[in-house]
A and B are shown apart, each in its own frame.
Chain A
Amino acid sequence: MDKINNRRIFITEEISESLGLRYSAKQFFKHIESIPADSITVDFVDTKFISRSFAHEYLSRKKSSHKRIIEVNTPENINKMFRVVENSNNKRSRNPKRIKAVIL
């Protein structure tokens, strides 16, 4: 059986305790993809905040990655944001409502 090598990454060390920018998530995954390991454990310990954009980019990149990526020590607020993104993946149709406006 092939041995799966695993690497653990602390996300606060790679980015910061505040995960805000989509760009940061892209850069983070570039780093992950460059690591010669089949499995990556992303440790979210001490993470304080995650934006919706960051969470969306993180999950999109994770989905398309060939590596096995596992999150650990994920604070509840980070988990909630991941769930928000996962639950909002249905493309919405345009609201047909026509609105009125004040002339200014």
Chain B
Amino acid sequence: MVFMRNNPDLVNHYLRFCRLRSDYLSSKDLDVGRYNFYYPVTILPLINFIKEHSIKYVYHPNAGVNRYLSIITSSSPYRSGKTYVPIVELPYARTKLDFTLKRIINLVSKYGGSDAFNYVIYELSENIYEHSNFRNAFLMAQRYSNFLEICILDNGVTIPGNIMNNYPDMSKEEDYQAIYDAIEGLSTKKEEGRGYGLGSSVKLFTKGLEGKLFIVSRCGACYIDKSKPTYYKLNSSHRWDGTLISMRVPLPPRNVDIYQYIYPQSDKKL
């Protein structure tokens, strides 16, 4: 094990959520005024936390931030021309999912990278429905001047939980190892040809779109960009009981040939 002081920005902004959560659990006061800027990687778990704890009143002393949080958390419909997709709660019924995802893909692929965004958003959403048995699942996207952040999360059985339920011999594995195994293609579905969704999405997003990606699941986490991935063992105040994936991609996104990334072993046959 090693300790590291300089965390990537996505990790640090997830830790902001963890501090707010810890403070609330000890004081019963959700002090969102503690920070003056919120990225999706902080907002989305916070919304889930607010819902789970039935917190009725959230107020930020800065009027601009307060208004932003109010808009982004409202159930107002997505309007084209905006720089964000307000937080979308993924429906339990898959019949309504396609419409929801298409709204998001329209926003995030406005400046290019349509195939890659389609691929990643569909695959990650599929994983939630296929594996997580969630009670809540949310998705949001926000465009900034030079990058776009997309965050998707659920409060389901987690990647390590799912793997350990299906592979009892792995019950003593560290959670970060389970995340690594899932990215490498370990599938809990017994059919052939399954288990490629997460790993191929990670590869396409980080190598194809040259984005950054942070995955948190139970007490494990992983930060990946085009260089070497970093895995984390989280202490109890940083755990996420579900799976959170937050992604940042530089703008404008590259138009990539997704087939170069999603299964390179078959490139020659394509």
Contacts and interface: CB of A to CB of B under 8 A. Distances in A.
Interface of A: 16, 18, 20-24, 49, 51-54, 56, 60, 77, 80-81, 83-85, 87-92, 94-95, 97-104
B126 A101 contact: no
B232 A21 contact: no
Given A100-B231, A103-B235, A104-B7, 20 more contacts: A20-B98, A20-B101, A21-B94, A23-B129, A51-B118, A52-B123, A56-B193, A81-B259, A84-B270, A85-B193, A87-B263, A88-B193, A95-B181, A101-B174, A102-B1, A102-B3, A102-B233, A103-B2, A104-B221, A104-B233
A53 B105 CA distance: 17
Contacts of B15: 104
Contact of B102 (A18, A51, A84, A102): A18
- Taking residues whose C-beta sits less than 8 angstroms from the other chain, chain B's interface range is 35 or more
B122 to A, nearest CB: 4
Contact of B98 (A24, A53, A77, A98): A24
Contact of B192 (A91, A97, A103, A104): A91
B177 A99 contact: yes
A60 B98 CA distance: 21
Nearest to B201: A52
B191 interface: yes
B106 to A, nearest CB: 10
A17 B123 CA distance: 17
B146 interface: no
A80 B260 CA distance: 11
B176 interface: yes
B165 to A, nearest CB: 16
Interface in B220-251: 220-221, 230-235, 238
Interface string B98-123: 10011001000000001100110011
B185 interface: yes
Interface string B166-190: 0000000010110011001110000
Contacts of B200: 52
A21 B98 contact: yes
B79 to A, nearest CB: 21
B62 interface: no
B32 interface: no
Contacts of B235: 103-104
A83 B259 CA distance: 10
B42 to A, nearest CB: 16
A104 B265 CA distance: 35
Contacts of B174: 101
A42 to B, nearest CB: 19
B47 interface: no
Nearest to A55: B193
A53 B115 contact: no
9 contacts: A24-B98, A52-B200, A83-B266, A84-B266, A91-B192, A94-B186, A95-B186, A102-B232, A103-B2
